[in-house]
Amino acid sequence: MSEVPDSQHVLDDVVQREYQYGFSSDIEQELLEKGLSEDTVRFISAKKQEPEWMLEWRLEAFRTWQRMKEPTWPNVTYPVIDFQDIIYWAAPKKKEGPASLDEVDPELLATFEKLGIPLDEQKMLTGVAVDAVLDSVSVKTTFQEALKKVGVIFCPMSEAIQEHPDLVRRYLGSVVPVGDNFYAALNSAVFSDGSFVYIPKGVRCPMELSTYFRINARNTGQFERTLIIADEGSYVSYLEGCTAPQRDENQLHAAVVELVAHQDAEIKYSTVQNWYPGDAEGKGGIYNFVTKRGICEGARSKISWTQVETGSAVTWKYPSCVLKGDHSIGEFYSVAVTNHYQQADTGTKMIHIGKNTRSRIVSKGISAGRSQNSYRGLVRMNATATNGWNYSQCDSLLIGDQCGAHTFPYLETANSTATVEHEATTSKIGEDMLFYCNQRGIDTEAAVALIVNGYARDVINQLPMEFAVEAQKLLAISLEGSVG
Amino acid sequence: MTPILEITNLHASIDGTEILKGINLTIQPGEVHAVMGPNGSGKSTLASVLAGREEYTVTEGTVVFHGHDLLDMSPEDRAREGLFLAFQYPVEIPGVSTANFLKSAVNAQRAHRGLSPLEPAEFLALMKERMALVEMNPAFLQRSLNEGFSGGEKKRNEIFQMAMLEPTLAILDETDSGLDIDALRIVANGVNAQRTPHNGMIVITHYQRLLNYIVPDVVHVLWNGRIVRTGGKDLALTLEERGYDWIKTESSVEA
């Protein structure tokens, strides 16, 4: 049967009731003092031994950021962030750069093992190359050699700046400009690392590429930068995962992801977001303010975003597609779960520029506890988007009666040949449904997981297999104790 | 012989209104009991109380199921101990295939009995075999549970689930409602195929019609929260002939 693994099996694996990634590791860290100024930017750039052009780029971003105001339009509330009270640089201490895995701090390896991300290539799942980012720096990128053989570049952003400056200068900030928004500007100024991917013409990347982000240090912000370029006729599937220790204070995560798909290229970008969401009383958790955007630059190119969002105290995130090439396709599949006091304002933007461009949005919000879950989406058909087509489906599922689900769709059409369809539903997990499951011997916890996974099936099915299993488990864990 | 079910002086109410007013009923292994009665007599309430629906409060009486206090058990434990309710209105669960739902149910019940989950191939074969009992097309396995099923298909699906779970006590709550004569025959055949000397059934219905196909050992007439008549299968025929008014009049006189 072609189904994703059944929920019962998944639940059997779920033993821990609490956020299971809440540990912190005792790794010797190099930390910068709290605070943000031009000096901070210069320090980071110097630490990375960056070329002058990169420093200038950062400084321009910093100056732009200083003139900007924090956005207040998202449907979320949180205390004012003191940007001077954050550490902008934290790195695991190391002597000289490790040449092999043997030289990496064993405690650090243990951390990733604990997260289920073995960096030892012998033990790895075949077919997934991993870039592991701990706090501000990339720790290890696996399978680099194998990828190099087919011309795929998959390396930490800091390395790309050194080794592939032409590509970085050409594309960095081309999709999300420095001044795009408050957090993108901040990221551009202080980003510390992230992943860089380049797939050459006509190459189908032979394995899934994956980046695993981990915030470990206290009081630090994480600002990673990811850039993926798929040259003509190429294909890549990229996975992103993330966790953070359980801490009482809130930590800021402001990432930028840029995707560029040239003619006939396809990028599939999947995220399972599991940052620490705060405790049941709403204390602590990550502020996840992220800008993700892709451009379908060439004709018949395709970008597909799939996200399963279960973590973070506050999320503000709209993975978007700019459909510039004729016949290009943008897709957005999302499951966003909020429980306890979590708040999420998430959705997408589909900007249709080219002719015969098509986009599809499937958003599934699940709210439980006292959480607030908003879908915010823009579909714009420019005057040039002849025969543009969009279909949006936005569903909300409520568990209990103290949570909220909100939908903010924005539809703008400047071309009369374009078609825009929007469907929205709101439903509740009813007593009848739970009782029916109970009567068949399925307990309430398992019933909720079963129902929620069914509800999210259209999105989960978009994920690569290993991630689909992970996502199902996460949905189950996130909603434990939400009924009864 | 230990009875499967022994209900003694069962009283139950919802929102302060008493619906069941002292039910006594004992089911021995191998027996099929029909519970008949007019609308509002408490038939479906009896089914709901036995299955453990929370809205109902048991105010008096005992129910012993295989020697255990049924009322002390959670709905899922009642199911795992072998109690099955074929719902009058089966729910739809979008996105959860019938196969996946059944796998969750069967394996939850197996786990309760200390058995390991069935292998996927074994499970699929078993599903196909049991579906045939109610002439269900295997294509239904991949469809979302009950979503877009016709009334008849939902009822067949209930009996298919029963065949998968092999309960020791099945309660069929108006399984005949909304069925045409062909579907009724198919469903009844599916039920009859599951009669054994070891299990018991409670068949709740308005009409005698179903009992032409599922022939009961005992027929009870429920009225106003009490069993007012108990007899053999002929009692159903008498009811069909004379209607419920006859019972109501006689019961009022006796009361």
Strand B32-36 and strand B218-223: pairing?
A: parallel
- Residues A249 and A278: beta-carbon distance below 8 Å: no
Burial pattern A361-382, b for ≥16 Cβ within 10 A else e, equals: bbbbbbbbbbbbbbbbbbbbbb
- Residue B166 class from Cβ within 10 Å (0-12 exposed, 13-18 middle, 19+ buried)? middle
Q: Closest Cα of chain A to B100: distance in Å?
A: 6
CB contact under 8 A, A441 and B90: no
Q: Closest Cα of chain A to B54: distance in Å?
A: 9
> pLDDT of B36-90, one tens digit each?
998 889 999 999 999 999 999 999 999 999 999 999 999 999 999 999 999 999 9
Rounded Cα–Cα distance for residues B125 and A408 (Å): 47
The yes-or-no verdict on residue A471 having pLDDT over 80 is no
Q: Which domain holds residue A328?
A: 24-429
Rounded Cα–Cα distance for residues A456 and A462 (Å): 10
In 3-state terms, what secondary structure has residue B244? coil
CB contact under 8 A, B105 and A446: no
Mutating which of B93, B98, B107, B144 best tests the A interface, going by the most A Cβ atoms within 10 A? B93
> pLDDT of B209-238, one tens digit each?
999 999 999 999 999 999 999 999 999 988
The yes-or-no verdict on residue B168 having pLDDT over 60 is yes
> What is the DSSP track for B20-36?
EEEEEEEE-TT-EEEEE
Q: Residue A95 contacts by C-beta under 8 Å, 6 or more apart in sequence?
A: none
What token pair was written down for A281?
């009383």
Of B54, B95, B104, nearest to A8 by CB-CB distance is: B104
CB contact under 8 A, B96 and A440: no
Q: Is A461's Cβ below 8 Å from some Cβ in B? A: no
Domain ranges of chain B: 5-254
Q: What's the whole-number average pLDDT of chain A?
A: 83
Q: Is A1's Cβ below 8 Å from some Cβ in B? A: yes
Chain B residues whose C-beta is within 8 A of a chain A C-beta are 51-54, 74-76, 78-80, 84-85, 87, 90-91, 93-97, 99-101, 103-105, 107-109, 112, 117, 120, 124, 142, 144, 161, 165
> pLDDT of A130-150, one tens digit each?
666 666 566 566 677 788 899
- Residues B222 and B248: beta-carbon distance below 8 Å: no
Q: Is A81's Cβ below 8 Å from some Cβ in B? A: no
The yes-or-no verdict on residue A11 having pLDDT over 50 is no
Q: Is A9's Cβ below 8 Å from some Cβ in B? A: yes
- Residues B93 and A451: beta-carbon distance below 8 Å: yes
Q: Closest Cα of chain A to B250: distance in Å?
A: 37
> pLDDT of A20-36, one tens digit each?
566 666 666 677 788 89
CB contact under 8 A, B93 and A451: yes
Q: What is the 3-state secondary structure (H, E, C) of chain A?
A: CCCCCCHHHHHHHCCCCCCCCCCCCCCCEEECCECCCHHHHHHHHHHCCCCHHHHHHHHHHHHHHHCCCCCCCCCCCCCCCCHHHCECCEEECCCCCCCCHHHCCHHHHHHHHHCCCCCCCCCCCCCEEEEEEECCEEEEECCHHHHHHCCCEEEEHHHHHHHCHHHHHHHCCCCCCCCCCHHHHHHHHHCCECEEEEECCCCECCCEEEEEEECCCCCECECEEEEEEECCCCEEEEEEEEECCCCCCEEEECCEEEEEECCCCEEEEEEEECCCCCCCCCCCEEEEEEEEEEEECCCCCEEEEEEEECCCCEEEECCEEEECCCCCEEEEEEEEEECCCCEEEEEEEEEECCCCCEEEEEEEEEECCCCEEEEEEEEEECCCCCCCEEEEEEEEEECCCCCEEEEEEEEEECCCCCEEEEEEEEEECCHHHHHHHHHCCCCHHHHHHHHHHHHCHHHHCCCCHHHHHHHHHHHHHHCCCCCC
Residue A379 lies inside a defined structural domain of this protein: yes
- Give the model's pLDDT for residue A190: 93
- Give the model's pLDDT for residue A251: 79
Question: A126: how many CB neighbours lie within 10 A of its CB?
Answer: 7
CB contact under 8 A, B105 and A9: no
* Selected residue with higher pLDDT from B140 and A472: B140
The yes-or-no verdict on residue A99 having pLDDT over 50 is no
- Give the model's pLDDT for residue A245: 60
Q: Is A75's Cβ below 8 Å from some Cβ in B? A: no
What is the number of structural domains in chain A?
Answer: 1
Closest residue of A to B117, CA-based? A9
Q: Closest Cα of chain A to B162: distance in Å?
A: 9
CB contact under 8 A, A439 and B112: no
Across residues B9-17, what is the average pLDDT?
A: 96
Across residues B113-121, what is the average pLDDT?
A: 92
CB contact under 8 A, A440 and B101: yes
Mutating which of A423, A437, A462 best tests the B interface, going by the most B Cβ atoms within 10 A? A437
- Residues B57 and B224: beta-carbon distance below 8 Å: no
- Give the model's pLDDT for residue A428: 85
Closest residue of B to A433, CA-based? B91
Residue B30 binned pLDDT confidence (cut-offs 50, 70, 90)? very high
Q: Closest Cα of chain B to A438: distance in Å?
A: 5
Give the architecture-level CATH label for domain B5-254. 3-Layer(aba) Sandwich (3.40)
Residue A437 lies inside a defined structural domain of this protein: no
- Residue matched to tokens 């400056």: A165
Interface of A with B in 427-456 (CB under 8 A): 430-433, 435-444, 446, 450-451, 453-456
Mutating which of A7, A423, A426, A440 best tests the B interface, going by the most B Cβ atoms within 10 A? A440
Query: Over pLDDT 90: what percentage of chain A?
Result: 47
- A155 residue type, one letter: C
Of A1, A454, A456, nearest to B93 by CB-CB distance is: A454
